[in-house]
Structure 1
Amino acid sequence: MPSSTPESSNKRGRLLKYLIGGLVLLGALYTGGWYYLANELQTRVATNIAAFKEKGIDATCENATASGYPLRVGLDCTRVGWADPAKNLSVTAGTFRSAAQVYDPMQIVSRIDGPAAIDVPGVMPLDAKWGNLTSSIRLDKPLPKQISIEGSNFIVNQRDAAPGAVPIAVVQDGELHFSTTEPQMDVALSFNKLKIADNLIDNRSLPELTGAADVQLANGFALLGKPERDLTVLRGQSGTLRKVDLAFADGSGIAISGPFSIGDDGRISGDFKVTMRNPEGVATALQGIFPEAGNTIASVLQAMAFVPKDETGAPTLPITARNGKMKIGFISIGRLPSL
């Protein structure tokens, strides 16, 4: 084969130099753009914190630093906190890390380390620690489209508790998910092996619980703009309990599903299906919590033998609620509290 001529070799050499030069220029432009975005992120955080301080809220993101180069852009803080002196509310925690892929900046994932100090009006000062706590947010306008929070090995103690004191609450793991498609909102919650200290709630001994809830709110998007921070915010809402399930350690439990609505006065209406897995186990657990109602619980347990069963053999009751008044058929069984 004929050998390459000096002219063709020079052309290939120049092409290689142009290619390398182009890659270097592209890399320099990308790097400059990344650091510009990083600087904008740090500036925005500082501006937002200053705006909160003007409102009397002490928001903290100590040593805020952009990170993630080259494929991600995010923010790291050595300590984070939020304090609203007017409401006697404050939360401080450890290291915070967040990041978004450069090619998908609207999806932000974050991780926060404990321990945390929590002060809430009407509640004893608390300290919390956990093994893992992460979140994922899908940004959209005007509000986030999806929010997911997952954590494991939560332990909550009274602050300055004596060494070896029983924790106020322990949870093996839990998840919370929000998603919105205006005007609808879906909320899903689950937790495993929640144990609340005995005698903390109404001086009662509470068993270990595992639970899950999957709720659809027909106009849940409207909740995001409301100032209320208690259950009254749900007034005027309607939706569907896809499933609300509470289980005890032996596998027994109660599940509720069905459509519902909440009046402007907080009264609940709905058509619910209540299923009881292993009624004997449920009765034993409830008698431990409410020993004064032992006879009533025993009578209900006997009546469950005559209740229709679902495909798994679990007794299932249709319960209707109208303005808070509950009935099984034409038999009144009590009234739900107003929200």
Structure 2
Amino acid sequence: MAAPASGATSTASRKIRRLGIGVILVTALYSAGWYYAANRIESTLHDMLGRGGFGSLDIACSNLKTGGFPFLIGFTCDKTAVEEPAMGQTLEAGALNVAARVYNPGTALIELEGPSRLQLEDGSTIEASWKLLRAKIDAGFSGLNSLSLSGNEVKAEAVVAALFQSFSLQAKAAEAHFRTDGDALDSALLLREFQWQETGGEPLLPPLSASVEAVLNERAGLLKGRPPVGKAMTGIITSLKFEMPGGLFGELSGPFSINDAGYMTGTFKTRLEKLGLWEEVLNKAFPEAQSTISGMKAMLQGLASGGDAVDVQLQVTDGLITLSMMPLGHIPPI
């Protein structure tokens, strides 16, 4: 009986050894493949950065290194910069970390450190910092299919050239989501506890939470890295909401267009709640326009039959905002 037991033990030992050798071989092959792919990615990125192989964009990524072994693959940069010479726009920021799962390299998570500085075509600038800024991308061979951004404790200083003014902005949380839908670009933005003020001044409004969902026709190319041809475009705001402490609420939706000069035209279905609170907030923010604001409130209450909420139609014509023929303000060119 001893001989059969010895043979069975020997057979089991051989199977275990073969399994161990197989695991070692698979691990070695996987590791070799991972490092080969990482080296190819690093070499390709270095080549593309060296010859400006990103379409109309010039991208800088200092001290580029690949990493993430064993289950992730990606790269890091100590500092980053993006320039679009044709439009005169630049973006500078801190360290960049990009990582994707090995089995799904088209979907990647990105973290960017601040501070950053953005310069726009018209001379406007935005300098920003944040506690955490993350992005998720879904890419194919033709470029990005979707992009999601989220940030916490975001602060920014903006100089708006068209207004000859500078503003301080901050938000407890901010999100932006973009997705291609055929030739259209679906977009959604969210701000929580957002505040803005003229630099060095008092907050213009109480903490504000806002969200907007919009469809931009024939703008899917923006995610593919193709710059727009001119400013003219059409789209629809499916929902734009504002909320403030005390129950102040506003919402609008409707189609719009932007002409070659960047001015907006559109007709928007609008709902306002807490009209008395709207008057109080706007009077504080724009004291020089108190008579206009009070007149607008009286008109809205008339339309609401004395109530505190109203549904109206807001008209924007080449940037000029009117309500029942009463001018309310002007939207600068985009």
TM interval, short-chain normalised:
0.7 to 0.9
Distance 1:251 1:40, change over 3 A: farther
| Distance in structure 1 (CA, Å) of the matches to 2:6 and 2:61 | 62
| Partner SS for 2:198 | coil
Please tell me whether residue 237 in structure 1 is matched to residue 230 in structure 2: no
- Tell me by how many angstroms 1:204 deviates: 9.2
Say which of 266, 271, 275 aligns to 1:275: 271
- 2:312 aligned partner: 317
| Alignment-mate amino acid for residue 74 of structure 1 | G
Say which of 321, 325, 333 aligns to 1:332: 325
- 2:283 aligned partner: 287
| Distance in structure 1 (CA, Å) of the matches to 2:57 and 2:320 | 43
| Partner SS for 2:69 | coil
Please tell me whether residue 77 in structure 1 is matched to residue 77 in structure 2: yes
- 1:221 aligned partner: 220
- 1:188 aligned partner: 188
Moved more, 177-186 or 167-176: 167-176
- Tell me by how many angstroms 1:271 deviates: 4.3
CA deviation vs aligned residue, 1:273-293 (integer Å, no higher than 9, x gap) = 111121111112222233232
Percent of residue pairs identical? 23
CA deviation vs aligned residue, 1:133-153 (integer Å, no higher than 9, x gap) = 000000023121110011011
Q: Under a length normalisation based on structure 2, what TM-score does the superposition of the two structures give?
A: 0.80
| Alignment-mate amino acid for residue 220 of structure 2 | F
- Tell me by how many angstroms 1:244 deviates: 1.0
Root-mean-square deviation over aligned CA pairs? 3.8
- 1:61 aligned partner: 61
User: What are the residue-to-residue correspondences of 1:1-339 with 2, within 5 Å?
Assistant: 4-52=4-52, 59-83=59-83, 89-119=89-119, 127-157=127-157, 168-198=168-198, 206-208=204-206, 209-222=208-221, 227-228=227-228, 233=231, 235-238=232-235, 240-262=236-258, 270-308=266-304, 314-319=309-314, 331-334=324-327
- Tell me by how many angstroms 1:9 deviates: 2.3
Moved more, 57-66 or 122-131: 122-131
| Distance in structure 1 (CA, Å) of the matches to 2:318 and 2:243 | 28
Does the 8 A contact of 1:325 with 1:332 survive in 2?
no
Does the 8 A contact of 1:133 with 1:149 survive in 2?
yes
Distance 1:82 1:184, change over 3 A: closer
| Partner SS for 2:147 | strand
Distance 1:256 1:57, change over 3 A: closer
Gap regions ≥5 residues in structure 2: 160-165
Q: Answer 1 or 2: which has greater strand percent.
A: 2
- 1:163 aligned partner: none
CA deviation vs aligned residue, 1:284-304 (integer Å, no higher than 9, x gap) = 222223323211211221222
- Tell me by how many angstroms 1:10 deviates: 2.0
Gap regions ≥5 residues in structure 1: 160-165
| Partner SS for 1:194 | strand
| Distance in structure 1 (CA, Å) of the matches to 2:105 and 2:55 | 29
Moved more, 184-193 or 29-38: 184-193
- 1:162 aligned partner: none
Distance 1:12 1:313, change over 3 A: farther
| Distance in structure 1 (CA, Å) of the matches to 2:185 and 2:303 | 34
| Distance in structure 2 (CA, Å) of the matches to 1:207 and 1:327 | 22
Distance 1:97 1:323, change over 3 A: closer
| Alignment-mate amino acid for residue 46 of structure 1 | H
